């Protein structure tokens, strides 16, 4: 029986709830792309960019962009773009249309790094005016995070190979968690439902550095090579372009994260929501609203929740308190009726294949 003091303690522990990541606040978005161009390919890069720029201008939600070249190193370029909000940008950057658009850039670019920022404050220009509409398009207040970056990958394997793939993915040797002085792998959780695989990753520090570190580890290369024959989308990890296209399509970005309790660990579940074509972002937004409300409710079993979304694939990763209060795949809340209308089939709980933490995470 729960005592009064225990209930008070539990309530206080849940008052630290916070949204540390979200694309759904309506704020304008600034995207920064750092580009390292091969020596001598600057003109080719400029021509490819101009072609891309003309295509991007017609994408819904796009406002403007700039192309800048370093005054110190002509191989270093910077592309900045502004979007009305994050959802239209994510819908475009995660689409097959984007994969085709950026294809001409690959032959002249050595490396890229993409950064995305909500605009919190600004000075000067028409957009910084005092109108109520303009103010609503700025992030209202800074979010407070926990230092962890969350990302996921998803891909499908050939029907009939699920058992063999699960065995391979469950029995790999964990890579070295420490990437460098500032970056560390914290946790990797791997789930399957049918022939769909979802690998969720938590990192402190630099996500890109962590992903590259993992990809270079021999134990991880061995696993990736072992599952290659079973993948529905073929890839050659020894071919840079083939690997790049595969992992671009496999990326499943986190669009929302809320923490209700930082002090306790729970049981981890992944829930898969197949959305109807074009409805993935709205479905993810409804789930985010539900989990924000749950984070404020001391009676809710949800300790942490991350929503991942790409196109019509939506995955909800939840840590819940205890084994008896596992969060339902289709939560009961005010907008559950709308959520059901957005689903293509039923929401399902995925099977946990492996869940590994680094010892000092």
Domain end point (choices 105, 121, 137): 121
Mean pLDDT, the chain, as a whole number? 85
Query: Between residues 217 and 350, which one has the greater pLDDT?
Result: 350
Choice among 143-147, 157-161, 255-259, 275-279 with the minimum mean pLDDT: 143-147
Please tell me whether residues 111 and 186 are part of one structural domain: no
When pLDDT is averaged across residues 309-314 and rounded to a whole number, the result is 94
Flag whether 23 is in a domain: no
Would you put residue 26 in left (φ > 0), alpha (ψ -120 to 50) or beta?
left
pLDDT computed for residue 343 by the predictor = 92
Residue whose pair of structure tokens reads 């372009």 in the numeric block:
241
The least confident of 77-91, 128-142, 318-332 is 128-142
CA–CA separation, 302 vs 190, rounded Å? 20
Mean pLDDT of 132-142: 63
Q: Write down the pLDDT at residue 153.
A: 95
Give the chain's domain count.
Answer: 2
Q: What percent of the chain has pLDDT over 90?
A: 49
- Of these ranges, 115-129, 224-238, 239-253, 304-318, the one predicted with the greatest mean pLDDT is 304-318
Domain span at residue 208 reads 147-357
Per-residue confidence at 125, pLDDT binned at 50, 70, 90?
low
pLDDT score of 354: 94
CATH of residue 47's domain is 3.30.70.100
Burial class (CB in 10 A: 0-12, 13-18, 19+), 218: exposed
pLDDT at 336 over 80: no
- Numbers of helices and strands, H then E, in the chain: 11, 14
Q: Average of pLDDT values for 94-106?
A: 87
Mean of pLDDT values over 257-284: 89
Residues 110 and 161 in one domain: no
- Please indicate, yes or no, whether residues 201 and 337 belong to a single structural domain of this protein: yes
Same domain, 151 and 218: yes
In a domain, residue 64? The reply is yes
Shared domain check, 186 and 71: no
- Rounded to whole angstroms, the Cα distance separating 318 from 271 reads 8
């Amino acid at each position: 029986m729960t005592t009064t003091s225990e209930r008070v303690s539990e309530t206080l522990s849940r008052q630290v709830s916070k949204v540390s990541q979200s694309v759904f606040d309506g704020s304008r978005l600034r995207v920064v792309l750092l580009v390292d161009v091969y020596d001598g390919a600057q003109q080719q890069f400029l021509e490819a960019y101009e072609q891309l720029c003309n295509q991007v201008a017609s994408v819904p939600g796009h406002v403007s962009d700039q192309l800048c070249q370093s005054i110190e190193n002509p191989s270093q370029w910077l592309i900045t773009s502004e979007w009305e909000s994050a959802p239209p940008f994510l819908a475009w950057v995660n689409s097959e249309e984007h994969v085709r658009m950026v294809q001409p850039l690959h032959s002249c670019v050595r490396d890229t790094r993409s950064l995305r920022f909500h605009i919190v404050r600004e000075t000067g220009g028409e957009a910084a005016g005092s109108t109520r509409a303009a103010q609503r398009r700025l992030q209202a207040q800074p979010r407070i995070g926990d230092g962890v970056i969350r990302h996921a990958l998803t891909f499908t394997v050939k029907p009939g190979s699920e058992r063999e793939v699960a065995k391979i993915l469950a029995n790999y040797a964990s890579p070295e968690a420490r990437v460098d002085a500032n970056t560390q792998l914290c946790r990797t959780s791997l789930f399957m439902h049918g022939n769909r695989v979802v690998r969720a990753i938590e990192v402190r520090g630099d996500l890109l550095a962590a992903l590259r570190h993992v990809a270079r580890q021999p134990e991880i290369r061995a696993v990736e090579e072992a599952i290659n024959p079973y993948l529905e989308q073929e890839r050659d990890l020894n071919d840079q372009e083939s690997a790049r296209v595969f992992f671009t399509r496999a990326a499943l970005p986190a669009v929302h994260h809320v923490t209700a309790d930082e002090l306790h660990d729970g049981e981890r579940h992944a829930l898969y929501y197949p959305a109807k074509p074009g409805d993935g972002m709205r479905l993810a937004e409804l789930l985010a609203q539900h989990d924000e409300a749950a984070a404020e409710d001391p009676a809710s079993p949800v300790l942490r929740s991350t929503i991942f979304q790409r196109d019509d694939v939506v995955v909800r990763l939840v840590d819940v308190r205890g084994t008896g209060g596992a969060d339902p795949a289709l939560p009961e809340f005010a907008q559950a009726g709308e959520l059901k209308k957005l689903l293509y089939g039923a929401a399902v709980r995925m099977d946990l294949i492996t869940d590994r933490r680094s010892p000092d995470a």
